[in-house]
Amino acid sequence: MTVTPTTPEERPPLAVVGSQVSQEEELFGRVFDQWVVRRLFTFIWPYRRRLAFGVACVLTFTATQLTIPLIIRHTIDDAVAAGAAGAEVLQTMVMIFFAIVVVNYAASRAQETIVGRVASHLLFDLRRAMYAHLQVVSLSFMDKTEVGRLMSRLQGDVYALQEFLETSISAIGDFVLLIGIICVLLVLDPRLGALTLSVVPLLFLVRIVWLPLARKAFMHARETSSAVNGALAENVHGVRVVQALRREDVNFALFDNKARDNLLAALKASKFTNIMIPIVDTLTGAAMAIVVVVGGGLVLDNALDVGVMVAFLFYVQRFFDPIRSLTIQYSIMQRAMAAGQRIFEVMDVEVDVEDKPDALAPEEIDGAVAFEGVTFGYLPGQPVLHDVSFRVAPGETVAVVGPTGSGKTSLMALAHRFYDVWEGAVRVGGHDVRDVTQASLGRHIAMVLQEPYLFTGTIRDNIRYARADASEAEVVRAAEAVGADAFIRRLEKGYDSELDQGGVNLSLGQRQLLSFARALVADAKILVLDEATASVDSYTELEIQRALARLLEGRTALVIAHRLATVRNADRIVVLQDGRIIEEGDHPALMASGGLYSKLYAMNYASFDDFAEEAE
Amino acid sequence: MEPIRAARTDGTVDTEAPADYRIDVSRFDASVLVRIAKMAFRYRGRMSLAIVATVMAASFQLFVPQFLGRAVDQAQGLLAGAEGQAAKTAAAEALFTTALLLIGAAVARGLCTCMQNYQGEAVGQSIGYDLRRAYYRKLQQLSYSWHDRVHSGDLMTRGILDIEGVRLFVDTGILRSFLLTVLIGGGGVVLWRIDPTLSMVALAFVPIVGIRASLARLKLRDTWLALQDELSTLTKAMEENLGGLRVVRAFAAQAHELARYDTIGARALAISHRRINLFVQSTTQMTFVYFLTMGLVLWVGGQKTLDGEITLGELAEFLAFMTILQMPVRQIGWMVNSLARASTCGGRLFAVLDIEPSIRDAETAIPLPEGPGVLRFENVSFRYPAWAADERTLAGISFEAGPGRTIGIVGPPGSGKTTIAHLMGRYHDVGDGRITIDGHDIRDLTLESLRLAVAVVQQDPFLFTSSIDHNVAYGDPWAGRPDIERSAQAAQLHNYIRGLPGGYETLVGERGVTLSGGQRQRLAIARGILPEARVLVFDDSTAAVDAGTERRIRQELRETVKDRAVVIIAHRLSSLMHADEILFLDAGRIIERGSHDELLAAGGRYADLYGLQARAGEDAP
């Protein structure tokens, strides 16, 4: 079954499975990062009362745990070993035991409930804060950040902090329990206590050596596992190509290598986990043996109550538990610090486009758009637009054409103030865009992007995305106007049909029509439109052109045009190259001038975009 | 031969509807568990070792309370008895022996547990490995139509979480049940021998906790699923928001989006709180019952000790025994859960693994012999199986493509063009009629040789996250650089690739270059033409390539493909107007056919479409 992916020529194939880009981020940070803790603290602060109560409960709970062996001790010494007189004491001791059990129950229940709830609140708070920040953060940050990366922060990292909070409260309990056991043992019998406790440092030592080694093994297991899953995902998504190009055997052999690596890594990690068991058991056995030999000897010499010996045995059986949880807590803390660092990093990303305190929010504007000597770029020293000036009069349609990378999309983004210009100004309705609120810009400018991006939800919700209060009649009217009504009504649930995964169940053309309807409902004075390049079939294209004409009616429009039909119908055409306007005018004028535009036109391109590539 | 074909095409085995990926805890399917157990016992050595280690670990652990009890008796038994120094020395020696035994039992128990866990995990991981391989293989073999109707997310869930669920069953399901049986059973016997009444008291909590735990687990499972649902809604909302950030900002919808987050978040939080309540309630109650029983043992046992029925050491033994039972009993709930999980996960996994691929080599299949490469459709009809909601069918499709004879297929969306492309590579099987290559029915050929002979360049190019040369050479990973460059050149992509900083080694996709739609399609064309197939099918594969570039691709290819059969499917008429014969398809039927000039002259649908395109784009020459 296994195929070795080599040929007799002994040349390895040009083949891999799964993504070649590692998705893993730094998993562990410093144990204690003051900056992270301080930031985290502001999120915890609102819950301080509840948490304080939670800590009180933990301490109560720990106290009851410490008390139980002591009660057993007294039951044995004062009741059972005391002969006939003991019967009454036994009753009392048992009653006390039951009382303690009730307290133990109440305290642990209250503590776990409180901590669990606060931690999940914190999870949603942190996530919301980060999410809310991402809504206003500068687009240049979003441009260079993958959504997947942000999502892993919104999810994985936030969970790491939740886990940290959840466990750190019980870690307080564990710590107190450990100290408590040590104290009780030393108080009950200093010599025996000291002797028994002598095994504890040994365990600490072992774990300190073990931890970094084990962590390496765990990380490796994790990485190989995500590599396997990545390869599986590729097989699922690319199965058609795999079958079409008969890559089944080669891929299977490569996958097998990955799966085997993962198997070996998992086994190695398992060795590390399990090697601790005999060590802890041996140390526990040794501690019990010390109690039996030394404690038993003392009891023989009448120097120790037998109940104390029993209590010691109970404590010894328990005292490795808190040590184990505390070392786990150490890892959790490191992970939380690394996660916190990443979360707060996102929250600290600068918001470079902000409303001025005295920003205007004009109710009505006249629909003029003007670029005045605009210079702009994404990277310092590398402007993509140079001193661009032009005006779009109210009601006018201006088409912007130019090769890929000429700066068309940047122009569009600037009109909506997604970025701030370096020099010059962008005016909308006579106002510098920096003097009005972003929300009011959103109201007056509707945008249609190249890729019709729809959201999961009903078709109705998508059409009225810009104005959630739009009436049913408005929604239907918009859909009718762009010619989407007919196909929507053919769907089983009409306007209530759910769009899966951004509307994959619709054709590209249908999605485009919906995004037009959405822009129409927004009912803005100004329309900024990036025409879709991907060609759809001619019938749909005709419908889209019709819808577009309807959409542009009575509005100011700035259109990045890819189709000749659109360009020809524009009132004016701006030809952009390398961030500069090189020609401007209407279609006949530009044709007459014999410049770049007329050349492109003569070459019969369906789109102007591939031009740059051709030119090389 | 006929019966085989009938069995292949009726597709009854291959109609398993995609199952819901939720875990149904109420339905135990014992046969699934048996099957998993059988898989585990294939690793006979490791599995026996694990079971022996488990039983031994439990037995050694049972010794611990006995030794402790004995030590307590030895330490103070003498106080009541002899006074002599000799007796005291003897007692000290006895204590020493007990201590050694204790260490021995502890070490042995530790080693056995270590072995049990390790071997258990090894078997689990090996099963996981086996399943992963089988699953990967099966997905490769299942037909396009199967993949069409199964959600990829569902397939990933099966491949990751379900395998996990099955794998963990070895440890938490099989081995733990051995451990618990020995601990409770063996412990019960030991305690019964000492004092039957007291042993009944001590074990009273086992059934209570066990039942309580299982019930709670079921409820917890429900809330967990509900929570996962809400969280995945939230994830989807956030993902879409971030992916469509420009739309969100363009419509100034941030407030709306945050309100959406808050609504879903509040729902999720409410479920999360309910879940915490349930969870905390059940775990703390179990501990409560456990401690209550311990109190009873102390009470009844103390009384019995006072009455001289049992020794103090035996009382200590009872109490120590209860200590070691605390964890395992809590795990009963866990085990119940693991059984349920393994049963559902295994069920869903086996449902995929057991599907017989509907498209596979016939027993008598032969490799396609050398030949000129003539592709014929003979009165082909096709119908998607009943599960598909749409009624798209093909009927009466006949045509012939061969060296120097190019076929063009055009038609409105949904007319069946892509289906024809898929039939040629046998990604679906025809209903009636047949498809032949050089006179061989394609169902009589091996899939390997057929697909080597028929290259389909698909409409929506899926590129792999690796370098450009890997992508171009996907169909022939041993292709040399000159072949790769030649293909890229023909697809008008070579110059662009050469201009990239990493050249042909540049990564595609995330953190590599982002290709435009047209470039992706051209890469897919380069990939499709690299292996030299006899029949080349372009399924609307230049839709996003501009007309000028497409023309140059066509010119480049003219030389390469002149001795091959070519089928071009397209919307844009300029792509296929040069074909020797053009088929106009509507609703699965050929309604017009002929050369471009003939069809124009006929003045039918084709001529209409031509007029439409000439007006709209003016890109038809």
pLDDT digits (tens, 9 = 90+) for B337-353: 788 888 888 988 999 99
Q: Does pLDDT of A526 surpass 70?
A: yes
Per-residue pLDDT band at A533 (split at 50, 70, 90): low
Handedness of CA B433, B438, B440, B446 (dihedral sign): negative
The residue-averaged pLDDT of A71-77 equals 91
| B403 burial type by CB count under 10 A (0-12 exposed, 13-18 middle, 19+ buried) | middle
Q: What is the pLDDT of residues A461-477, one digit of tens each?
A: 889 888 888 899 999 99
Confidence at residue B392, expressed as pLDDT on a 0 to 100 scale: 55
Q: What is the pLDDT of residues A537-590, one digit of tens each?
A: 777 777 777 888 888 888 899 988 776 667 778 899 998 888 899 889 988 888
In-domain check, residue B76: yes
In-domain check, residue B597: yes
Architecture of domain A369-615: 3-Layer(aba) Sandwich (3.40)
CA A31 to chain B, closest CA, distance in angstroms equals: 28
Q: At what angle do helices B85-141 and A248-290 cross, to 10 degrees?
A: 170
Q: How many angstroms separate the CA atoms of A330 and B314, rounded?
A: 40
Residue pair B456/B537 in contact by the 8 Å Cβ criterion: yes
In-domain check, residue B209: no
Confidence at residue A604, expressed as pLDDT on a 0 to 100 scale: 52
- For strands A423-428 and A369-379, give the pairing: antiparallel
Q: How many angstroms separate the CA atoms of B585 and A379, rounded?
A: 51
Task: Report the half-sphere exposure of B164 (CA within 13 A, side-chain side).
Answer: 9
Q: Which of A242, A313, A545 sits opposite B616 (nearest CB)?
A: A545
Q: Which of A81, A84, A449 sits opposite B247 (nearest CB)?
A: A449
Confidence at residue B197, expressed as pLDDT on a 0 to 100 scale: 92
Return the H-helix or E-strand segment holding A558. Answer: strand A556-560
Least confident of A87-91, A215-219, B17-21: B17-21
| Contact with chain B for residue A593, Cβ under 8 A | no
Q: Does pLDDT of A6 surpass 70?
A: no
With contacts defined as CB-CB under 8 Å, which chain A residues touch B74? 296
Q: How many angstroms separate the CA atoms of B423 and B435, rounded?
A: 8
| Contact with chain A for residue B134, Cβ under 8 A | no
Written as one letter, the residue type at A570 is A
With contacts defined as CB-CB under 8 Å, which chain B residues touch A8? none
Pairwise CB contact (< 8 Å): B238 & A250:
no
Pairwise CB contact (< 8 Å): A80 & B305:
yes
Confidence at residue A109, expressed as pLDDT on a 0 to 100 scale: 94
Pairwise CB contact (< 8 Å): A441 & B252:
yes
What is the domain extent for residue B67? 25-193
Q: Which CATH superfamily is domain A27-189+322-352 in?
A: ABC transporter type 1, transmembrane domain (1.20.1560.10)
* Domain C-terminal end among B147, B173, B193: B193
Confidence at residue B23, expressed as pLDDT on a 0 to 100 scale: 44
Closest C-alpha among A349, A556, A413, A543 to residue B616: A543
In-domain check, residue B389: yes
Q: What is the CATH number of the domain that holds B84?
A: 1.20.1560.10
Confidence at residue B156, expressed as pLDDT on a 0 to 100 scale: 84
Confidence at residue A27, expressed as pLDDT on a 0 to 100 scale: 54
| Contact with chain B for residue A112, Cβ under 8 A | yes
Q: Does pLDDT of A22 surpass 80?
A: no
Residue ranges covered by each domain of chain A: 27-189+322-352, 191-303, 369-615
Which of B310, B546, B552, B576 to probe the A interface (max A CBs under 10 A)? B546
Q: How many angstroms separate the CA atoms of A216 and B621, rounded?
A: 64
Residue pair B536/B567 in contact by the 8 Å Cβ criterion: yes
| Contact with chain B for residue A75, Cβ under 8 A | yes
Residues 440-499 of B with CB under 8 A from A: 448, 451-452, 455-456, 458, 462, 464-467, 469-470, 473-475, 477-479, 495-496, 499
With contacts defined as CB-CB under 8 Å, which chain B residues touch A523? none
Q: Does pLDDT of A508 surpass 90?
A: no
Q: How many angstroms separate the CA atoms of A240 and B512, rounded?
A: 23
Return the H-helix or E-strand segment holding A428. Answer: strand A423-428
Is the model more confident about A255 or about A405? A255
Q: What is the pLDDT of residues A132-179, one digit of tens each?
A: 998 888 777 777 777 777 877 787 788 888 888 888 888 899 999 999
- Dihedral angle computed from the Cα positions of residues B496, B498, B500 and B505, in that order, rounded to the nearest 10 degrees: 120
Residue pair A416/B250 in contact by the 8 Å Cβ criterion: yes
Pairwise CB contact (< 8 Å): B320 & A614:
no
Residue numbers of chain B with a pLDDT score lower than 50: 1-26, 79, 387-389, 616-621
Q: What is the pLDDT of residues A284-316, one digit of tens each?
A: 999 999 999 999 999 988 889 999 999 999 998
Give the helix, strand, coil percentages of chain B, each rounded to 5. Answer: 65, 10, 25
| Contact with chain B for residue A210, Cβ under 8 A | no
Q: Taking CA atoms, what residue in B is nearest to A418?
A: B249
Handedness of CA B547, B548, B552, B558 (dihedral sign): positive
| Contact with chain A for residue B388, Cβ under 8 A | no
Q: What count of other Cβ atoms lies within 10 Å of the Cβ of residue B78? A: 19
* Domain C-terminal end among B175, B193, B211: B193
Return the H-helix or E-strand segment holding A554. Answer: none
In-domain check, residue B319: no
Round the average pLDDT of chain A to a whole number and report it: 84
Which residues fall within 8 angstroms of residue B486, CB to CB, at 6 or more apart?
Answer: none
* Domain C-terminal end among B193, B223, B248: B193
In-domain check, residue B437: yes
Counted domains in chain B: 2
